[in-house]
Amino acid sequence: MKLRFVFLCYHGFGHINACLKLGRLLKQAEHQVYFAGIGYFQEYVLSQGFSYHLLKSYPFGLGLEKWINTLKKQKHIYLGSLRDRITDSIYKSREVDLYWMLQSLKPDIVLIDARQATDFIVMYNQLKSKNIKVAILQPMLPLHLTPGHPPMNSDVFPDAEGSVKKAIRKMKWNELIKIWKKKLTYLGFDDKFLIRRRIRKNAVPEHFISKAPSLLNFALQHIDEFILVPQAFDFPIVKFEPTRHYIGFMPNEKRNDTVDPEYKKKEAAIFSSKTSKNLKLLYCSFGTIALEDKKVVLLFLRKLIAIAGIENYLLLISLPAQREDVDKLQTSENVYIFNSVPQLDVLRQAELFITHGGINSIKESIHAEVPMLMYPIHSDFDPKGNAVRVAYHGLGLRGDIISDGEKAIQAYLKELLSNPLYKKCIQELNRKDAEYTLDHFLQKINSLTPLS
């Protein structure tokens, strides 16, 4: 039976890219696949070969009011944000948008990105009345506390019991502080209040609402959740949840990347130099760098460039930054910096990947069998947790981007380049990941039942 799938992805390229391989496999099996989201991502998704349903609204309850009012160039950002919260305007726009999406696309199954699980609240009554199946799609590892695991935003190993408890206390305290800051800022109309208000008004059963501490504003339970990593990448599971399904990395090896024109001009010369001079290629990317992290990242890159000169490494850096920032980096022979590169192609040529710990970059590095040196630069969500798992499973090493000096970084690089164990561990994980097939996913999908 051919099914109609709708992917409701969070508005970020990382979240969309994580779903493209799964979407392509479903299309190849002659299922109908639609992505739904805001206009900013429409052209990109269409270029990947998928149908796109344009939404003009944003998920509610995620604290997006300030960002939305900034986009709209409102004169009084705070007052506009407070008004939106009091009047529930973001929810109301979302409700209309998703109503017509369901009417237009008539999906059999809606896959909601875990980051915007509040869309379940918005669509609950329609999903139930139309017998539409629904599941959560988790592009990264779950961000709520799992028994026996440290929080995803901590750099703690699971067997360090005392440190795990400390990390959990820290996470709960930090989340409590965030909640109370928003309560005070928005006169009680914080994200949690907005979500609870709509759960009551839409009569969503408490049975579906997770009470587990989470790095997200809202999470569901007793709803099937598909996690886009193999179980072998996670820490050992103490207690398996029957609704949690690992479905493998599914890296999108056919993605169409936007590439810096300067890279295109120099690509052939770079790889010709690698071959002719027998150089080790180090590839470094920190993804999108927040303004507050820029200084730290640039300081680290200076150290890395100096090491590349000493060791005669070929160093390729992807750095989406202003020209004046790039000019501050004293490059030397065999060091190249570009705004963007075709990461999949570069990884196929690289001996080592230096990365911030985003899950998509990790997936692609593992797929290319390239060991990793992890330098997480923030702890809001998953990079620290990902880096710990890379180290735990012997897929690479992790460092401290602030405190590591040139000697420490140099030692990490030499270890990763000379020790074959890391590549062997990656190959073993790839073997386990290959066991996850489309049939495995569809078996789980076929077992879904409509909301009762």
pLDDT reported for residue 192:
96
Which residues contact residue 10 at a Cβ distance below 8 angstroms, ignoring those fewer than 6 apart? 59, 113, 115, 116
| The two structure tokens encoding residue 270 | 């770079």
Question: Worst-scoring range by mean pLDDT, 55-59, 139-143, 189-193, 198-202?
Answer: 139-143
Using the predicted structure, report yes or no on whether residue 312 has a pLDDT greater than 90.
yes
- Quote the pLDDT of residue 141: 93
Do strands 244-246 and 225-227 pair parallel, antiparallel, or not at all (unpaired)?
A: parallel
Report CA-CA distances (Å) from 281 to 135, 284, 356, 406.
Answer: 41, 10, 18, 18
| Domain extent listing, the chain | 4-250+436-446, 261-433
Strand ranges across the sheet with 396-398: 335-338, 314-318, 281-285, 352-355, 372-374, 396-398
Residue 202 has pLDDT above 70, yes or no: yes
Long-range contacts: 391-394, Cβ < 8 Å, 24+? 392/157, 392/158, 392/235, 393/232, 393/233, 393/425, 393/429, 394/421, 394/422, 394/425
Q: Is 315 within 8 Å of 282 (Cβ atoms)?
A: yes
Give the sign of the dihedral formed by CA 56, CA 58, CA 59, CA 65: negative
pLDDT digits (tens, 9 = 90+) for 88-101: 999 999 999 999 99
CA distance 316 to 331: 11
pLDDT at 402: 93
Q: Are 213 and 144 in contact (CB under 8 A)?
A: yes
Secondary structure element (H or E) that encloses residue 16, with its range: helix 13-28
62 — pLDDT class (breaks 50, 70, 90) = very high
Give the residue carrying structure tokens 């120099």: 266
- The whole-number pLDDT of residue 190 equals 97
Q: Where are the alpha helices (DSSP H) in 38-106?
A: 42-47, 65-71, 77-87, 89-105
pLDDT value for 291: 67
Per-residue model confidence as pLDDT tens digits over 322-337? 777 777 787 788 999 9
In CATH terms, the fold of domain 4-250+436-446 is Rossmann fold (3.40.50)
Query: Which residues, in sequence order, are bridge partners of residue 32?
Result: 4
Nearest to 312 by CA among 337, 279, 284: 279
Cα 429 → chain centroid: 20
What average pLDDT does the segment 377-399 reach? 93
Please give the mean pLDDT across all residues of the chain.
93
The 10s digit of each residue's pLDDT in 229-239 is 999 999 998 77
What pLDDT band is residue 106 in, cutting at 50, 70 and 90? Answer: very high
Choose which CATH entry (2.10.240.10, 3.20.20.70, 3.40.50.2000, 3.40.50.2300) describes domain 261-433. Answer: 3.40.50.2000
209: confidence class by pLDDT, cuts 50, 70, 90: very high
Percent of the chain scoring above 90 in pLDDT: 84
Is residue 123 within 8 Å of residue 117, measured between CB atoms? Answer: no
Q: What percent of the chain has a predicted confidence (pLDDT) above 70? A: 100
Kindly state the average pLDDT of the residues 171-182: 94
Residues forming a β-bridge with 398: 374
Sheet holding 51-54, edge to edge: 51-54, 32-37, 4-8, 109-113, 133-138, 225-227, 244-246
The token duo for 117 is 């699980």
In this prediction, residue 398 carries a pLDDT of 96
**pLDDT at residue 407 greater than cutoff 70:** yes
359 in Cβ contact with 18 (< 8 Å): yes
pLDDT score recorded for residue 292: 75
Helices 438-446 and 13-28, axial angle in degrees (round to 10): 90
